[in-house]
Copies of this chain bind each other. A is one copy, B any other.
Amino acid sequence: MSKLVISQKIKLAVKNGHGCVRIRVGNVTIGCDQIVVMAGPCSVESREQVLETARIVKAAGGHILRGGAFKPRTLPYSFQGLGEEGLKILAEARDETGLPIVTEVMAPEDVELVESYADILQIGARNMQNFTLLKRVGRAVKPVMLKRGMSATIEEWLGCAEYILNEGNPNVILCERGIRTYETITRNTLDVSAVPVIKQLSDLPVVIDPSHGTGIRSLVAPMAKAGVAAGADGLIIEVHPHPEKALSDGDQSLHPPEFADLMRELAPIVGAVGKRL
């Protein structure tokens, strides 16, 4: 067929005639003709690391600081994040730089705590269909960034947004972070086509994560540009002051000068699609 078709039971996450959803976070606007760049380390490792990264992100023109305090790791023996201590560090970085904070929440019982520090609540790919958690953040006040599950269809992903919206939280940002395929040279296969599919089906903003989406530093910039050219509303990018020392995802984290270069190179692409950076 030549049209995009999804279940007619999805009512809230689809286009409803009111136009694009505009989400306000501090003095940052997400959605519509504004490109938003979220950047920062995969994990919050220390006060120094986060403050240094926040300054780098701010100086290069980034809009929101990312960083994980609660980390979903494949094995129980890996670094699991600093927890509330990490949230406090993120809040301090916000106080200094003015950058709002996006950070992951992994369990319903942590939502109240995370919400007391964060500006945007991130639902990770592994929890996309953790429906208890979705319902809980659907009753939160803060916006939610919902990552696509590792092998979720776009329809399932919108179904998960529906769970959040249906509880009353209208502020959902979708994040394409790569899907699992047979290809092994990249960590995941970034499904850039999910961007125009979402833009045609839904009014919700959609950002892409070229860091997890590729797993390889040298692919982050070209895929960030591809995402914006395809119509994405923003990017979430891993930046680390010393990627080779990162406790997680060092291979896909940009060095600070690479992030600054990317911000400069993005500008003409953003202009070419008629948006603002």
Contacts of A75 in B (CB 8 A): 7, 9-10, 159, 162-163
Rounded to whole Å, the gap between the CB of A210 and the closest CB of chain B is 8
Q: A76-B166, A149-B150, A197-B219 are in contact. List 10 more A-B contacts (CB 8 A).
A: A74-B159, A75-B162, A107-B108, A109-B109, A151-B182, A153-B183, A179-B183, A226-B229, A228-B229, A272-B272
Number of copies of this protein chain within its complex: 4
* Neighbour of A126 across the interface among B6, B129, B191, B231, CB < 8 A: B129
Query: A222's closest neighbor in chain B, by CB?
Result: B196
Known A3-B216, A196-B223, A251-B2: A154·B183 in contact at CB below 8 Å: yes
Verify A108–B109 contact, CB threshold 8 A: yes
Instruction: Tell me the bound Cα distance from A183 to B157 in angstroms.
Output: 12
Verify A151–B151 contact, CB threshold 8 A: yes
Contacts of A195 in B (CB 8 A): 222, 226
- A200 contacts the other chain (CB 8 A): yes
- A83 contacts the other chain (CB 8 A): no
Verify A216–B130 contact, CB threshold 8 A: no
Verify A131–B227 contact, CB threshold 8 A: no
Contacts of A230 in B (CB 8 A): 222-223, 225-226, 229
- A33 contacts the other chain (CB 8 A): no
Contacts of A4 in B (CB 8 A): 185, 216, 218
Verify B189–A218 contact, CB threshold 8 A: no
- A132 contacts the other chain (CB 8 A): yes
Instruction: Tell me the bound Cα distance from A265 to B22 in angstroms.
Output: 25
